[in-house]
Amino acid sequence: MKARIFVTLKGGVLDPQGRAIQHALEGLGFAGVNDVRAGKLIELDLADGTSDDDIDAMCRKLLANTVIENYRIEKVA
């Protein structure tokens, strides 16, 4: 079973990496880039039968810093 975890910074948190990407895109001549936010995508290959609770616990304990980050779990067949 595969699962994808999307980790994104919460709204008010400064994102220097995103800001750097935005400036770099402008430097390359791309106009109209209003905002960039950088996040993480973690793909897990899990044993069949891993519970949703376990995946959620992985996110809370290791994959996301819930003080400043949100996470979303997407299970793939």
Compose the 43-62 pattern: x for residues touching its own copies by CB under 8 A, - for all others: xxxxx-xx---x--xx--xx
Nearest distance, CB of residue 22 and its own copies, angstroms: 9
Phi and psi at 69, nearest 5°, equal -125, 145
Q: Give the Å distances, CA to CA, from 45 to 18, 38, 60, 62, 77.
A: 28, 23, 18, 16, 11
Rank residues 49 and 67 by Cβ distance to its own copies and give the closer one: 49
CB 38 within 8 A of CB 21: yes
Interface residue list for its own copies (CB under 8 A):
6-8, 18, 21, 24-25, 28, 30-47, 49-50, 54, 57-58, 61-63
